[in-house]
Amino acid sequence: MNDCSIPHLAIWKDLPNVYLNSHNKTILAWPYVYRNISNEYDWYYKGEDDGYLIVENLRTFLRNFDPNKPHYFGAWLKSYLPKGYNSGAG
């Protein structure tokens, strides 16, 4: 990102900006979030460039959950791994 008017931190600036690095970028981002800003917010949203978010709908959805308890929202997939895996889709 080159727009200095939008606050951001490029913690993965050394990774090529290709789709296959999305997972690696996420793996790098969450430890940073946990160590540096986890006490500042109740919830975190991880999105990609091919999705969209309606913030009011998210707020309404999150009202039903306790932010002090761990939650993972997404889709449970069981295609090729014996125990399945989670995806953000859904």
Q: How far apart are CA 77 and CA 30, in angstroms?
A: 22
pLDDT confidence of residue 60: 97
pLDDT confidence of residue 63: 96
pLDDT confidence of residue 85: 72
pLDDT confidence of residue 25: 82
Q: Which residue has the higher pLDDT, 2 or 43?
A: 43
C-alpha distances out from residue 33 to 38, 56, 59, Å? 6, 23, 20
pLDDT tens-digit readout, 40-90: 889 988 877 778 889 999 999 999 999 999 888 877 777 767 777 777 655
